[in-house]
């Protein structure tokens, strides 16, 4: 397993070691001991989530606040996404900055998004099965979000605006500046 720290402190791209032969492939999708050693912190994942979406579906940018903040380890089982993490830690030197990583079933990359980040993705393939582990339970009262097309963040989602499929809830999220971070 190879871990690459992004420009956003604590946010890592994980590239697994894949063992392939004429029968197919094998790899560890998660090993707590190795993972924690490589990122230098303890993470106790308590919930796994899965979503299925069509091309152009954009989910995000979401986060949870306070005691219900969540770290996430995300990956794609089938298809491809552009995965985005935004640093919303007000005391961070990269506050308001984001990274975008293409995660596919073929490249098998994962992204570790620590607490204090907004997260979202857009589907680049016809369909996608997206999986993620969370280190805290979902709490509706603690959820927050930032509108996907925020001008301050200026995220290039790699899909034309007229092809994006946005939920009613996500379409009315506040801007970065007005968000209750």
Note whether 111 and 73 are within 8 A (CB).
Answer: yes
Nearest to 168 by CA among 150, 151, 147: 147
Which amino acids are annotated catalytic? 62, 132
Residue 137: alpha-carbon gap to chain centroid: 16
**Dihedral pair phi/psi, residue 75, rounded to 5°:** -155, 165
Q: In 16-142, at which residue ranges do the beta strands (DSSP E only) sit?
A: 19-21, 24-26, 47-54, 57-64, 72-78, 80-87, 98-104, 110-113, 117-123, 127-134
- Size (the chain), residues: 181
> Could you count the other beta carbons within 10 Å of the beta carbon of residue 136?
18
Q: Which residue has the tokens 């809830």?
A: 169
Note whether 55 and 158 are within 8 A (CB).
Answer: no
């Amino acid at each position: 397993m190879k871990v690459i720290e992004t420009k956003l402190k604590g946010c890592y791209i994980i590239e697994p070691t894949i063992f392939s032969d004429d029968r197919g492939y094998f790899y560890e999708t998660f090993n707590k001991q190795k993972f924690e050693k490589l990122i230098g912190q303890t993470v106790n994942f308590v919930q796994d989530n899965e979503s299925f979406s069509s091309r152009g579906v954009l989910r995000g940018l979401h986060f949870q606040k306070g005691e219900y903040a969540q770290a996430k380890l995300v990956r794609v089982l089938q298809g491809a996404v552009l995965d985005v993490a935004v640093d919303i830690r007000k005391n961070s030197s990269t506050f308001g900055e984001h990274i975008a990583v293409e995660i596919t079933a073929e490249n098998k990359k994962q992204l570790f998004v620590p607490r204090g980040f907004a997260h979202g993705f857009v589907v680049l393939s016809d369909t996608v099965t997206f999986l993620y582990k969370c280190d805290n339970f979902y709490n509706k009262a603690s959820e927050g979000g930032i509108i996907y097309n925020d001008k301050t963040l200026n995220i290039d989602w790699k899909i034309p605006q007229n092809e994006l499929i946005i939920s009613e809830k996500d379409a009315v999220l506040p801007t970065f500046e007005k968000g209750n971070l």
